[in-house]
Structures are given as C-alpha cells and as structure tokens.
Amino acid sequence: MCQRIIIGLFLSLYLLTACSVLSGTGGPANNKVVDEPKHVESEVDPVATELISQEKAANNSVVQNKQSDPQAILPAPPRNYSAAIITGKMTSDYKQLIAAVENHFDGDTSLYLLKGSRESQQKTFDEIQASSHHYVMAIGDLAATSALRLDNKTLMFSAVFNYQSDGLLEQGMQGVSMLPNPDHLFSLWASLNPDLNTVAIITGSGHEQQISRVKQSAAKYGVKIIHRVVKNDKEMLYESELLFSTVQGYWLLPDHRVLSRRSMKEFLSRSLKKAKQVVVFDQQLLKYGGLIYIEAKPADIGSAMVKQLADSDSHIVFTRETNMLVNAGVAKTLHLDTANIPRNYISHE
C-alpha cells in the first residue's frame, strides 16, 4: 500500500513537471502568458536554461570586457552614425541613464521626450523617422513600445522590465535588462542571513529569461527560488499570503502589472508581520518594511546600451553594477546580523 502511494506521488510529480515544461515551451519568441495564479516553480525550465546560455555569452563578454577593457574588445559603433534618444519621462534615473548614453556614444545624439497627445507623439516619431539617426535608444516602457513603429532604424531599449511580455525582442529590438545583478543581491543577502534557502518571486507573465538568471544566481548561494506568476495586484497579495509558510523572503521585482501602491504597502506590512525578508526595487519601500533595496546602476545601463549597439547578436544584456542598501531597522527587527555587511550598504536607522 505504501509503495503504491509512493509510486503515485512520484508519478504525480513527474506529470506536474512535464506540464510545466510544456507550458513554458517557446523560447524568447514565445512569451506565452501563464494564466494560472498558482504557477509551478520553474526549477528545470529548459527555456530559461537556453536563455541563460545566451545571456552567459553576453555576460561573459561583459565580464571579460569588464575584467580587461571592454571598449578595446567590443567593436565600436560607426562614428558617422547618430542616435536618437527617446523617453517618456525625465526622472532622475532616466537622466542618469541618458547622460551615460550620451557620454559613451561617439556620434551625435538627439533627445526626444514623448509627451502630450497621441498626435504630438506621432509627430515626434515622424520626425525621428525622417531624421538621419541610425540608432534609436528608447528609455522606458512607453518609449520602447512606441519605437516599434519606426522602420529602418536600429532600436535599442532599456529600463523596461516587461520586455518579454511586450515582445520587444521578437520585434527586433535589442535591450539592456533592468534586472540588477542577482549575484550581488544573493551575496549580500546570504551574508545577512546565512540560513537563507527559499525565496519567492511573484511577477506577471513573461519573465522567464530574467527569472532563470535569478535562479541560476540563487543556486550559487544555495537559495531556492519559487516563482509565481499572477495577473494583478490582488492575486499577487493572495499568492504572497499562500507562500508565507513556505518561504523566508521575497524579491519584489518591478512588474507594474501586478503591483499597485496599496498592494505593495500591504504586502510589505504583512510580510514584516510574518517576519519575511523582502528585497525591493525602490528605496522608498524600505520604510514600509523592505529589507534590501537593489537596482541596476543607471549609468551602467547607459554604458551597456552603447556597447550593445556594436553587438547585434546579443538581444538582451544584463548589467553588473548595482546600488544596494540594507534597512538596518528591519534587519534588527528580523534579528539579522549586519556585522558582516559593509557600512556603505547599511541605511541609517
């Protein structure tokens, strides 16, 4: 009888795993939305594995370049080409990013700010289309999705977290992921909590590439990533509650589709009450209960964008440099030892 039960359990696990594999099939061009809120974890996601291999190639070059002199190894973009920089907002991060692009790009650049009505935005694109700019660097989701209408331009995006769900890569755009370097995060997190073993990530659909990279990195530190795909903030809260008993912490990624201001506050509040460690993408969330704040450095993203122009083979690249900060107050509340953390990573209480 016990043997039957054990066999049944193994069969169930096998079938479940098979279903997961089938639902995640499609590679970078197949960004199938996961409907079920109770998404299975993607520990053996083949798509993710493939993406990681691509990413590795890109990152290896970056790492190698970083380690030696990236400008000397990567081919520089043609000097007589000019670039148009488009953005929907002029936030401080975007400004830093734009400044980095302008700094590293040899040719002329023109900055276009998308604002006003659709007509005015269309006029802007018409102007870009008619211009001699060979490169178009879209910063932000609005700029990236809007830039798809341009023809005969080399399109580059950054500061777009949902690039997979937006189908940017499939439509020929190259880009720089805004996912911060997970190695840095888990290195820091593991130092803060040596017993860290299970972390949940709840996002919307279409983040397989980035989740794969995260899992790969987490595995180095013995941390298991449980990824849940939800459709809205309500499901995100619900799912997070279901995971309270399973995980030690959450990494809150900036998927705007499943995040609302209220849900973030509530999620952080509930998490803190449940003594869960939460990594947040915005520094202001620390005061609501976030433990670690991490983001890719805007300047690094800008630099990577310029380098990406010369590498038409790589669709997406990941940056290396990050900004990180540990919330000392929450760490104290959660009884985490910050002694091994560099002082510049610790926020003032």
Partner 1 sequence: MSLMIKIDNIKHRLASKASYAGSWCMRSVRSSARLVRGFGIFNRRQVKSLASRLQLLFLCWGLLVYLLAVSGFWFVSTSVIDATLRHQTTQWLEKIDGLSTPLYASHDINEFNSIKNYVENINEIAYVNFYDGNSLKNIGSYKKELLDAGAIPVLDKKLLAMKRFSALQVGEGVVDRSLKDHGLLRIISPVAIASIQADELLDFDLDSPEDDSVIVIGYMDVGIDYSFYTASLIENIIKGSVSIFIIFLIAAVIGQRVIKNALRPLSALREPLERLAEGDTDVSVKQGGDAEIAAISTALSSTISAIKGRDAELRRLADFDPLTGLYNKRSFSALFEKECQRIEQESDSGALLFIDLDQFKYVNDSLGHAAGDRLLIEVSTLLKQRLRGKDIVSRMGGDEFTILASSVDKAGAAELAGDIVKEIGAFLFIEAGKSFNIGCSIGVALIDGGRFSHEELFAHADMACYSAKSQGRNRYHFYEPALAEKTRLDIGWSQRITEALGEDKFELHFQPIITASSHQTEAYEVLVRLRDEMDNFVLPGLFIPVAERFGLAAEIDYWVIRNTLKLIEGQGSTLRFHINLSEQIFSSPEFVSRLIKISGNMNLYPGQIVFELSEQTAVLNINHTVRRMEELQYHGFNFAIDKFGSGFNSFSYLRHMPVNYVKVSGEFIERMIEDDVDKAMVKSIVDIAKACNKMVIAEYVPGKNSLNLLQDFGVDFMQGNYIAEPRGVLTPASVSPSVPTNISSIAPEK
Q: Where would I find the beta strands (DSSP E) of 66-108?
A: 83-87
Binding flag, residue 146, partner 1 (CB under 8 A): no
Round to whole Å and give the CA distance between 211 and 229: 11
Q: Which of 23, 170, 238, 347: binder of partner 1 (CB under 8 A)?
A: 238
Round to whole Å and give the CA distance between 138 and 282: 22
Q: Which of 45, 141, 208, 300: binder of partner 1 (CB under 8 A)?
A: 141
Q: Which of 69, 108, 127, 241: binder of partner 1 (CB under 8 A)?
A: 241
Q: Which of 45, 93, 208, 300: binder of partner 1 (CB under 8 A)?
A: 93
Closest CA to 138 of 162, 156, 150, 116: 156
Binding flag, residue 126, partner 1 (CB under 8 A): no
Neighbours of 115 (CB within 10 A): 13
Give CA angle at 128 (154, 29), nearest 5°: 35
Stretch that binds partner 1, among 47-55, 156-164, 208-216, 307-315 (CB under 8 A): 156-164
Q: Which own/partner pairs from 73-80 qualify as long-range (CB within 8 Å, at least 24 positions apart)?
A: 74/307, 74/310, 74/311, 75/310, 75/311, 76/106, 76/310, 77/105, 77/106, 77/107, 77/135, 77/306, 77/309, 77/310, 78/107, 78/134, 79/106, 79/107, 80/107
Q: Please report the DSSP string for 178-191 in residue order.
A: ----HHHHHHHHHH
Binding flag, residue 285, partner 1 (CB under 8 A): yes
Stretch that binds partner 1, among 57-65, 75-83, 234-242, 313-321 (CB under 8 A): 234-242
In the bound complex, what is the minimum distance in angstroms from residue 62's beta carbon to partner 1? 22
Binding flag, residue 118, partner 1 (CB under 8 A): no
Binding flag, residue 265, partner 1 (CB under 8 A): yes
Q: Which of 56, 224, 257, 320: binder of partner 1 (CB under 8 A)?
A: 257
Binding flag, residue 65, partner 1 (CB under 8 A): no
| Residue whose CB is less far from partner 1, 96 or 197 | 96
Number of residues that bind partner 1 (CB under 8 A): 39
> How many helices (H) does the chain have, and how many strands (E)?
13, 12
Binding flag, residue 162, partner 1 (CB under 8 A): yes
| Residue whose CB is less far from partner 1, 161 or 318 | 161
Q: Which of 20, 31, 37, 251: binder of partner 1 (CB under 8 A)?
A: 37
Round to whole Å and give the CA distance between 96 and 233: 30
Round to whole Å and give the CA distance between 17 and 296: 33
The residue ranges that bind partner 1 (CB under 8 A) are 37, 88-89, 91-94, 140-142, 159, 161-162, 178, 231-235, 237-238, 241, 254, 256-265, 281-282, 284-285, 288, 295
